[in-house]
Amino acid sequence: MAERIRDMKVVLARIGKPHGLRGEVTVQLHTDDPERRFPVGAVLDTEAEAGTGVPRALTIASTRVHRGIWLLTFEEIPDREGAESLRGTRLVLDDATPAATDDDAYYEEDLVGLEVRDPSGATLGAVSGLEIGPAQDRLVLTLTDGVTAYVPFVRRIVPTVADDHVVVDAPPGLFDLYREGTE
């Protein structure tokens, strides 16, 4: 699931630290399909802090996975110094791009405020956030008793996302783990 930013762009990844001397960078993925999103030759728009000198678009020169971490190089970035300047830059797609639409893509602003129900329909609380993780995303829930809980945002645990609610089929005892620290 991907993160959306204000100007209707879908964030595919956030650039991390350089890797090696030839301009390779680590990326924190915000997409479930990096093979399709990052083919060699793809040109991706960037979102960076003003005045950083980061190009408005980067062309992927190579991709690889090293110890479970995605590494990218860009035609415009020849060395480690250039790679360091990219740290924190977001790689984005225009939300109107057909490749950016996924049947199971939800954005934080679409989820926050939705009522959370268990499979029987009983109210558990409300969605208060979405955390994008390197392996999987997590819904942040505020339970009816005020406790904050986290659930993996996967179909097995969150089988339904509707216009006004989500269904959370949490494993037994999951929410009790979050309550233990508040007592």
- Give the tens place of pLDDT for each residue, 44-72: 999 888 778 888 899 999 999 988 889 99
Q: In a 3-state reduction of DSSP, which class is residue 76?
A: coil
Tens of pLDDT, residue by residue, the chain (183 residues) = 444 444 457 888 899 999 988 899 999 888 777 888 888 998 999 988 877 888 889 999 999 998 888 999 999 999 999 899 999 999 987 654 444 344 556 778 889 999 999 999 999 999 999 887 656 788 999 999 999 999 998 888 999 999 999 999 999 999 999 988 665
Residues 60 and 91 sit within 8 Å (Cβ to Cβ): no
Residue 182 φ/ψ, nearest 5 degrees: -100, -5
String of b and e for 122-150 (b: at least 16 CB within 10 Å)? eebbbbbebebeeeebbbbbbbeeebebe
What average pLDDT is seen over the chain? Answer: 84
- The helix, strand and coil proportions of the chain, stated in percent and rounded to the nearest 5, come to 15, 40, 50
